[in-house]
Copies of this chain bind each other. A is one copy, B any other.
Amino acid sequence: MQRIVVLAGGIGGARFLRGLRSAAPDAEITVVGNTGDDIHLFGLKVCPDLDTVMYTLGGGIHEGQGWGRADETFTVKEELAAYGVGPEWFGLGDRDFATHIVRTQMIAAGYPLSAVTEALCARWQPGVRLLPMTDDRVETHVLIDDPEAQGEEGGRKAVHFQEYWVRLRASVDAHAVVPVGAETAKPAPGVLEAIAASDVVLFPPSNPVVSVGTILAVPGIREAIADAGVPVVGLSPIVGDAPVRGMADKVLSAVGVETTAAAVAAHYGSGLLDGWLVDTVDAGTVGAVEDAGIRCRAVPLMMSDEHATAEMAREALRLAEEVRA
């Protein structure tokens, strides 16, 4: 049985995983999920990326928007607003609230996030083993201009990633992206073991900075991947000169990376990445990526439906076998 480890962010990672599960139905898939965009709202612990993976693979996702629950209602949120309690910019629905209530209650009772995630997945049966990257608190902050700051040169301030992404919709420049707490975080139980035992490691077309990058920022994970001695293959989240979805260009530029498929591959680096899939529109960049020591193929990378996504996953596994051979 093939053992596959996937480092996943939210929507892109979750959709890719659905295709992968379909492409490799007999594989044992372990997902290491990003928790850097976790946030405490209304006193509840919200894990957007873990939940997006869980809901998507468990059949509960709102297909249209890619996050949150299908058939969702917003009564609790409206009532909270009636109390003057926000934020209103974060879309928590009633069904979703239940997940956060269960999680918060279990964490208050002393369970680590990894145990909580396993308990939640007992309901959703995602068909993969979903692990948070860490049980420790990591919170991605984004440094932006602060127009209200004093001083001649103007000031900057750090905001929670969700505030940057959801409230501000990445409409202002990001000067830095900092996964606060990552440097002292430990990989969650099972993460390093799964990587060491894997046959292949995949980076789905998730955000290379705030999703995959945050997971790699947890000490030990990048090293474990490099040490595993197995093919590491990624899929470009950039098609042409724009992210397939989301606003990855803003956070890429914060870390000095161009918004191109080739630049993202170089950002991961040949020390980590063995293979890289770019979209057919970026076929012209294959040579440059290969010159940088990363095997590269151009294939359709639009996750328009599960069939297309499964085909992407098959291409990634094929490239992994090429790398292995």
Specify which of B42, B82, B102 is in contact with A123 (CB 8 Å cutoff): B82
Specify which of B83, B95, B105 is in contact with A102 (CB 8 Å cutoff): B83
- Considering only residues 93-119 of chain A, those with a C-beta below 8 Å from chain B are 94-95, 97-99, 101-102, 104-105, 108, 119
Contact surface of A with B, Cβ cutoff 8 Å: 42-44, 73, 75-77, 79-80, 82-85, 94-95, 97-99, 101-102, 104-105, 108, 119-120, 122-123
| CB of A117 to closest CB in B, whole Å | 12
Identify 13 residue pairs between A and B in the complex whose beta-carbon atoms are under 8 Å apart, listed by A's number.
Answer: A43-B105, A75-B75, A76-B101, A79-B94, A79-B95, A79-B97, A82-B98, A83-B99, A83-B119, A84-B122, A84-B123, A94-B94, A97-B97
> Judging by beta carbons under 8 Å apart, are A80 and B102 in contact?
yes
Report copies per complex.
2
> Judging by beta carbons under 8 Å apart, are A104 and B73 in contact?
no
User: Inside 8 A of A108's CB, which chain B residues have their CB?
Assistant: 43
Specify which of B44, B73, B102 is in contact with A101 (CB 8 Å cutoff): B44
> Judging by beta carbons under 8 Å apart, are A120 and B43 in contact?
no
User: Inside 8 A of A84's CB, which chain B residues have their CB?
Assistant: 122-123
Q: Which 10 residue pairs spanning A and B have beta carbons closest together?
A: A79-B98, A43-B105, A75-B94, A76-B98, A80-B98, A83-B102, A79-B95, A42-B101, A94-B94, A83-B123
| CB of A264 to closest CB in B, whole Å | 37
Specify which of B73, B99, B122 is in contact with A94 (CB 8 Å cutoff): B73
Q: Which of A44, A98, A104, A122 has the most CB of B within 10 A?
A: A98
User: Inside 8 A of A122's CB, which chain B residues have their CB?
Assistant: 84
User: Inside 8 A of A94's CB, which chain B residues have their CB?
Assistant: 73, 75-76, 79, 94
